Amino acid sequence: MSNQNRTNHRKRIHVTTLGCSKNTYDSEILMGQLAARRAELVSSPEEADVLILNTCGFIEMAKHESVEAILEAEQLKKADPRKKIIVCGCLSHRYAGELRKEMPLVDGFFGAEDYENILRFLEYSPEASPEYLYEKRLLSTPSHYAYLKISEGCNHKCAFCAIPLMRGRHRSRPLPDLVNEARLLAQQGVRELIIISQDTTFYGIDLYGSQKITDLLRQIEEIEGIEWIRLHYLYPTTVQDELIKVMAASPRIVPYLDMPIQHISDAMLKIMKRGGNSRRIRTIFEQARAKIPGVTLRTTLIVGHPGETEADFETLKEFVEEFRFDRLGVFMYSHEENTGAYSLGDLKPRIKEARYAELMAIQQKISLENNLKKVGARLRALIDETDWSSMSAVGRTSGDSPEIDNEVLIEQLDRAVRVGEFVDVRITDASEYELYGKLGDKQHES
């Protein structure tokens, strides 16, 4: 390559995102800033000049996945030493010193949301007000749905959780900026807006002195084009009755209550430093079922946390069998240094694995029974994928968030459907985590 060509060469950059939807959002902000500076974003790390890895450091499994991705990037650099590797995100924020020693081929380590320094490192001007970075955001999700991150960090001190170590204290984004971002997304064709944070129901307290999540929802409801508004990560101690009322009355906020509780034993909730108690958790779920028509209840649980006795686990199993959650995620406790639970020791892996398997088996049976009850029903679904070679499509109901929940497999299509279109589906069969169906007679406006 001549000197002139080197001067004019646009950086080819590949971004790998690991971890949760909040990391997806951060990567989209970064990609938007890179594209605005005429970087060429490429789909393959092999063809890139710069490899950016946005890492996760939440639990051991996620850390291992991030480390493997960095090692793979180093192998590419060994084959082509001209490549640069940038590691950012939670793992890098938490373990930058250790990673520098172990991974000398990485050119730069940056924390979460460290857009300005990454741009400087790549010799781009960082000039951009942080509040308005979203205006250049480049979506990596399918164009019909997008995440809206309304705050960063967390003020809770859950014993098992390292998020405050990596993301800091809770910081809400200004309400007008969020509404403007939602409006821009609608103009780009987004039909489903998925609201995320570490603690969604805490939104606004730091900026305005009181919770503003219902104010935000009411304003987003007025935006033309957004048909589904989905809430994730409600924290039990900050869910207010007003939110349940707003969800129940809204035609656009989907009837989907995602409230991770982690446990139901009062003894374990205290050890986990979750705040609140089992009675409050039960009350919220009961109110949601009583007041929100057709609500889908989703939660996550941790098994094998230090201090969890057989009696605590039995209490948890009985609760799952009693409440029959529509969606349930189960995690084995991950022993994370510098967290409150770290000094409490760790249960034997075989105990954690056995409890995980037992709880998942219970939930699989519940999920299958719940799904079989839907056979014969007609449900509205949003199309995520189409496959014309098999005349089939994949969609989701209002009770299903992308990547983590159930899918509707639509077979024997008798007409064209488009990704991002709402359709009426007649359910013909079901398994533990899928519904099967055919297009109904009724069509929804696309």
Tens digit of pLDDT for each residue in 94-108? 888 888 889 999 999
253 DSSP assignment: B
39 closest CA partner among 6, 57, 14:
14
Directed axis angle between helix 213-221 and helix 241-249, to 10°? 10
pLDDT tens-digit readout, 224-262: 999 999 999 999 999 999 999 999 999 999 999 999 999
From residue 163, how far is each of 47, 90, 250 by CA, in Å? 33, 8, 32
Q: Which two tokens stand for residue 36?
A: 């605005």
Under a CB-based contact definition with an 8 Å cutoff, are residues 320 and 355 in contact? Answer: no
Amino acid at 237: T
> For 413-419, what is the mean pLDDT?
85
Amino acid at 293: P
pTM for the model = 0.92
Beta bridge partners of 332: 303
pLDDT tens-digit readout, 131-185: 778 999 999 999 999 999 999 999 999 999 988 888 889 999 999 999 999 999 9
CATH classification at residue 107: 3.40.50.12160
Domain boundary among 323, 341, 372: 372
Is 234 part of a structural domain of the chain? yes
Is 126 part of a structural domain of the chain? no
Same domain, 183 and 249: yes
Under a CB-based contact definition with an 8 Å cutoff, are residues 309 and 266 in contact? Answer: no
Lowest mean pLDDT among 116-125, 297-306, 308-317, 320-329: 116-125
Same domain, 393 and 340: no
pLDDT tens-digit readout, 125-142: 877 667 778 999 999 999
Is 267 part of a structural domain of the chain? yes
Under a CB-based contact definition with an 8 Å cutoff, are residues 274 and 236 in contact? Answer: yes
| Domain assignment of residue 411, given as a range | 378-443
Number of domains in the chain: 3
Give the integer Cα–Cα distance in Å for 266 and 261.
Answer: 11
Under a CB-based contact definition with an 8 Å cutoff, are residues 72 and 34 in contact? Answer: no
Give the integer Cα–Cα distance in Å for 371 and 434.
Answer: 8
Count CB neighbours of 94 within 10 A: 23
> What is the helix, strand, coil percentage profile of the chain, to 5?
40, 20, 40
Q: Which two tokens stand for residue 61?
A: 């499994």
